[in-house]
Amino acid sequence: MGNGFFTDTTLCIGCKACEVACKQWNQLPSDGYEFTANSYDNTMALGATTWRHVAFVEQPVDEHDPTVNRWLMMSDVCKHCTNAGCLEACPTGAIMRNEFDDVFIQPDICNGCGYCVPSCPFGVVDLIPHQHGIATTFATDGRTNDDAVQSHGGIAGKCTLCYDRQKVGFDPACAKACPTESIQFGDVDELKDRARKRVEQLQARGVAGARLYGVDETTSVGDLNAFFLLTDTPDKYNLPERPVLPSTRQRPGYTSAALAAGALALAGFAIFANGKTE
């Protein structure tokens, strides 16, 4: 049930069409023009105004031969977790789960408390700086999109899985643009079946380390509505090996708070007892 992404990194050619298509559709500003010298990655991470990010991993033959013989590319995105830390943390209900089972931030509700930011075990969501405007880039002749996120400075931003497009029957911009169909959009269960078959196929072809990330997970975060086919360990792609759902820490937290309070209260009663009689 629900719609999501299957990102098959073995089909990615690192063209970054997804990044641009996303920014175009969502009218997101650029994050500046800094040359990182980290392979072909100059945007480096997902952020408040970068909702797709292509990672580039150059892998040498071995310790002694720096010749690159494998160049991994992977288009990262919000995972739209089954159990979403950001959604649970959000105190206003601005972050909601929509009818497509995707995690959506309502820009008109979010008040920028920032609690979702540290609550995402994947480091996806972040706060959009104030006056961070595409208007500084594009003609202000009204031809830009009035729903543009840049009008939402001070609130949290992340992939909406193109909720607005889905509502009118369009595929998300990144999946539609992806020339090699490395990003596939559709019903999550169907995508998972496809992905499992794909892994078998690749392993049969001898593709080293082909694995799924975010499918049949045992972590508290559960399966991901945006999951990935990787050919190396998750950390190589800057993904957590075992993400933990923050809210699982609430019970022990409340408990120890209660115990501490109780203990101190008892101590207090003890100390202040036998006061009357002099």
Partner 1 sequence: MPGLGTTFGRGGATTFVQDLENADCILIEGSNFAECHPVAFRFVMKAKERGATIIHVDPRFTRTSAVADIYAPIRSGSDIVFLGALISHVLESGKYFREYVDAFTNADYLVREDFKDTEDLDGIFSGWEAGENLNDSSILNAGTTNSGDASAIDGNKHSAYNRETWAFELEEVPRYDGNGTVKVPKRDPSQQNPRCVINVLKRHFARYTPEMVEDVCGTPREKFFQIAEALTKNSGRERTTAFAYAVGWTQHSVGVQYIRTAAILQTLLGNMGRPGGGIMALRGHANIQGATDIPTLFDLLPGYMPMPAVARKEQTLAEYLGTNTKPTGWWANTPKYFISLLKAWYGEHATAENDFCYDYLPQLTGNHSMMSTTIAMKDDEVEGYFVIGQNPSASGMNGELTSDAFEHLKWMVNIDAYETETASFWKREGTDPTTVATECFYLPSAVVLEKEGTMVNTNRMLQWHDKAIEPPGDTVTDAWIFYTLGKMFKAHYADSTDPKDRPIQHMTWDYEHPDAHERAKGEPSIHRIMKEINGYSVADGTQLKTFTELKDDGSTACGAWIYTGVAPDDTKLMSRNRKADDWVSLEWGFSWPANRRILYNRASADAAGKPWSERKKYIWWDEAQAKWTGVDVPDFPVGKAPNTPAKPGASGMDAHGGASPFMLNLDGQAQLFTAGLLKDGPMPTHYEAVASPVKNALYGQQNNPVAMEWRRSDNAYNGTDNPDYPYVLTSYRVTEMSGIMTRYIPWLAELQPAAFAELDPELAVEKHIRNGDWVTISTALGEIEARALVSGRLQPLRLGKGRRIHQIGIPYNYGTMGHATGDSPSNLIPFVMDPNVSIHEAKSGTCNIRLGRRPTRTRTVVDEAVPQHKPEGQPSLHGAQRDTPGA
Partner 2 sequence: MTALRDISPDASGRGVGDGAPLVPAAVVGYYDQPLLKRPHWEASVKIYLFLGGIMGCSGLLAMIVGDGDPERARVARNARYTSIVLATVCPPVLISHLGRPERFLNMMRVFKTKSVMNMGVWGLLAFSGVAGAGAVGQLARDGFLPRWMRILGPTWAVNVPLGLLGAFISGYTGVLLSATAIPVWGVGKRHIPAFSLCSGVAGASSLASALLVLQGGSERMQHKLVALERVAATAEFALLQHFRAYAGDFGTPMFAGKQGKRLSTWTMAIGILGATAIEALPVRSKWKSLLSAAMTLTGGYVLRDVLIEAGKDSADDPKAAFRQPE
Partner 3 sequence: MAIKPRVDLSTLFGRAKDALRLDERIGKAPNLPSKRTQELQGRVARGKPVVSVCPYCAVGCSTLAYVSDDGKLLDVEGNPDSPVNGGHLCPKGSAIFGLTVNEARWTTAKYRAPYATEWEDKPLPWVMDRIAARVIETRERTFVRERDGKRVNHTLGIASLGGATFGSEENYILGKLLHSLGVVSIENQARI
The pattern of x and - marking residues 104 through 133 that bind partner 3 according to CB under 8 A reads x-xxxx------------------------
Nearer to partner 3, 99 or 200 (CB): 99
Which of 41-49, 142-150, 176-184, 223-231 is the region at the interface with partner 2 (rule: CB under 8 A)?
A: 41-49
Amino acid symbol at 197: K
Using rule CB under 8 A, residue 71 touches partner 1: yes
Q: Pick out residues in 152-191 that bind partner 3 (CB under 8 A).
A: 162-168, 170, 173, 176-179, 181
Which of 89-97, 140-148, 161-169, 204-212 is the region at the interface with partner 2 (rule: CB under 8 A)?
A: 89-97
Distances (CA, A) of 177 to 16, 57, 86, 121, 210: 10, 22, 28, 28, 24
Give the count of alpha carbons within 13 A of 207, CB side only: 18
Amino acid symbol at 76: D
Contact (Cβ atoms closer than 8 angstroms) between residue 234 and residue 57: no
Using rule CB under 8 A, residue 27 touches partner 2: no
Which of 61-69, 138-146, 162-170, 201-209 is the region at the interface with partner 2 (rule: CB under 8 A)?
A: 61-69
Nearer to partner 3, 4 or 212 (CB): 4
Q: Pick out residues in 90-129 that bind partner 1 (CB under 8 A).
A: none
Which of 101-109, 222-230, 232-240, 262-270 is the region at the interface with partner 3 (rule: CB under 8 A)?
A: 101-109
| Torsion on CA atoms 258, 261, 265, 266, rounded to nearest 10 | 60
Q: Which ranges of 131-205 would DSSP assign to H, the alpha helix?
A: 163-167, 173-177, 188-204
Q: Pick out residues in 191-250 that bind partner 2 (CB under 8 A).
A: 234-244, 246-250
* Cα angle 174, 177, 179; round to 5: 120
Using rule CB under 8 A, residue 164 touches partner 1: no
Q: Kindly report the three-state secondary structure assignment for every residue of 216-232.
A: CCCCCCCCECEEEEECC
In the complex, minimum distance from the CB of residue 176 to partner 3, in angstroms, rounded to a whole number:
6
DSSP structure class, residue 40: T
Using rule CB under 8 A, residue 148 touches partner 2: no
Q: Report the Cα 14 to chain-centroid distance in Å.
A: 19
Pairing of strands 126-127, 103-105: unpaired
Alpha carbon distance 215, 235 (integer Å): 17
Kindly tell me the sign of the dihedral angle through the C-alpha atoms of 45, 50, 51, 56: negative
- As to burial, measured by CB atoms within 10 angstroms (0-12 exposed, 13-18 middle, 19+ buried), residue 20 is middle
In the complex, minimum distance from the CB of residue 128 to partner 1, in angstroms, rounded to a whole number:
16
Q: Which of 12, 22, 55, 183 binds partner 2 (CB under 8 A)?
A: 55
Using rule CB under 8 A, residue 47 touches partner 1: no
Residues forming contacts to partner 3 in the complex (CB under 8 A) are 15-17, 19-21, 24-25, 87-88, 93, 96-98, 104, 106-109, 136-145, 147, 162-168, 170, 173, 176-179, 181
**Which residues contact partner 1 by CB under 8 A?**
11, 13-17, 19-20, 23-24, 29-37, 39-40, 42-43, 58, 60-61, 65-71, 73, 134, 137, 139, 141, 179-181
